[in-house]
Amino acid sequence: MKKGILVSTLFLGASVSLFAAAYKIPEQSLNSMALGAAYVAHTEGADTAYFNPAAMAFMPQKRYVEGGATLAHLPAIDYTLDAQHSGHSKVENIAIPYLHYVGNTIGNWRWGLAVAAPAGLSKRWETPYQKAFAQEFTLKNVEVNPVFSYKFSDRFAVGGGVRLIYSQGKVYSDGSDAGIPLKREMKGDTFAAGYNLALLFKPTNDINLAATYRSKVTLNEKGKANLYFGGAGKQYDASVSIPIPAALNLAISKTWDDRFTLEFDYERTFWSAYKQLDFKYEQPILNPILSQAFDDPLQRQWRDTNTYRIGATVKMDNKLTAMFGFAIDQTPINEKYIGFELPDSDAKIFTMGFRYQANEKLSWGAAFLYDSKKPRSLSQGTVVNNPVLSHGGSFDGGGAMLFTVGVSYEY
């Protein structure tokens, strides 16, 4: 494998997801984590503000607040080709907090607020050839999502809100250990906005039909980039656009005897918005090798995905509620353009959790999610934009284990 080929196609891109396929994070509360995000039609607590604001209209007349945090453990990903080019990523442990609130009703109106991390990723490789492409790719987001609901009748309500997102991105690559004299350091941030819509229809007292839509938000990360050739570097004003894709959820739930609820959720995520990764620099890059490595747009050509979720809520008694979930999650990655930065694959997600009602106002609980990624084997010649992966190889490991604790208070 010639270094020249490597140099000519060196790039960085997105990275492995924390939770679901790619870098969108559906689970943003205790219940949603325990139910594998099958939590759109039948929502109960303050997190209703985030998962289906229309459902706030049917919540009892009081205020709800929930806070918590998720610890994400991302095992290493192993890439196997030959001794020189095989490698593994670092294990990641990331804490992600959340906060939800639902206020009192005002006539047929109700308002709420969600603070969540709708997307995010962190992937760091420590082996030479992988580091050359993705020493670190980190995307942090926080979304402040004020929402409202309007109740048309006892059976139908709509909701919506504004998505206010602050995002920080960090992209590092370093080819020095692989004998490639190229290195990039980039940091940027941005504010972006979108919207979300929701409706809830209750044809019977025990069946809920729901639809939610979260709009695409384009994160135009702006900041500085240091590009190095050999040991010398130059700083540029730089930017890169990454979409948080739009997502449509259609969900149905049925409750039996007020004790057992089953929800089925279909999610369509419009990842096809992610067509290319194009780092832009305000100043021209006059070093032709650096320009080729870091300035040429990188094809992504992702595809829209389907995710199927099922969640079960079991009220064991007046104090304890158990929750279980399962999801089949499709990856949006176009194998032709896969990179070390994003060796994602289809996944099966298993979840479970509980909530304990400590008293009339206070409850708490914990949830666990296991994301099992399907191993991916690459045939020689399949990948067109990575000189190592074009020789084939396989990705194994990865996935995620998440642990969430949450506390709710109603007053």
Partner 1 sequence: MRQTLYRLMGVAALFVLVGCGTNLDKPTGTVSKNAAVVVDVSGDLIKQKLLRAHFPGIDQNSTVYGEKAYRIVYDSIDIHGNPIKASGYMVVPTGLPDAVTRQLGLSIVLDDHGTIFKNTDAPSVMPSQTLLPGNDTSILFSALGGFVTLMPDYVGYGESKGAVHPFVMKRLAEDSAAFLQAARKVAQENGIKLNGQLFVTGYSEGGYAAMATLQKLEDDGESVAMAAPMAGPYDLNFTAFGVLSQPKLSVPSFMAFVGYAYAEAYGVDIATVINSPYATMLPDLFNGEHDRSEIDPKLSYDTTGPTGLFVPAFVADFFANSSNWFRKAVLENSVSAWAAQTPIRLVHCQGDDVIPFAISQATLQSMQSAGTQNIGIIPVEAALQQAGKGDGHLMGHSECGIYAYGIAAELFAQVRQATIGY
- Minimum separation from the CB atom of position 137 to partner 1 (A): 15
Rg of the chain (C-alpha set): 22
75 or 233, CB closer to partner 1?
233
- Minimum separation from the CB atom of position 287 to partner 1 (A): 4
State how far the Cα of 261 lies from the Cα of 323, in Å rounded to an integer: 9
Q: In whole angstroms, how far apart are CA 267 and each of 27, 251, 393?
A: 13, 8, 31
Give the CA count within 13 Å in the CB-facing half-sphere of 382: 14
53 or 398, CB closer to partner 1?
53
Residue 219 in contact with residue 165, Cβ under 8 Å? yes
Question: What is the maximum span of the chain, computed from C-alpha positions, in angstroms?
Answer: 71
Give Cβ neighbours of residue 358 (< 8 Å, ≥ 6 apart). Answer: 364
- Minimum separation from the CB atom of position 350 to partner 1 (A): 28
Q: What angle do CA 380, 386, 387 make, to 5 degrees?
A: 70
In the chain, the amino acid numbered 368 is F
231 or 381, CB closer to partner 1?
231
- Minimum separation from the CB atom of position 1 to partner 1 (A): 16
- Minimum separation from the CB atom of position 285 to partner 1 (A): 9
- Minimum separation from the CB atom of position 334 to partner 1 (A): 30
Q: Supply the DSSP symbol for 89.
A: B
99 or 200, CB closer to partner 1?
99
Q: 242 - beta bridge partners?
A: 219
193 or 384, CB closer to partner 1?
193
Q: How far is CA 156 from the centre of its chain?
A: 30
87 or 103, CB closer to partner 1?
103
287 or 372, CB closer to partner 1?
287
State how far the Cα of 110 lies from the Cα of 287, in Å rounded to an integer: 57
State how far the Cα of 88 lies from the Cα of 115, in Å rounded to an integer: 34
- Minimum separation from the CB atom of position 398 to partner 1 (A): 23
Cα–Cα nearest to 342, from 242, 252, 267: 242
- Minimum separation from the CB atom of position 234 to partner 1 (A): 6
181 or 397, CB closer to partner 1?
181
User: Taken in order 336, 122, 280, 189, is the CA torsion positive or negative?
Assistant: positive
Binding site for partner 1 (CB under 8 A): 63, 97, 99, 101, 103-104, 111, 113, 115, 140, 142, 144, 166, 168, 181, 185-189, 223-226, 228-235, 286-287, 290
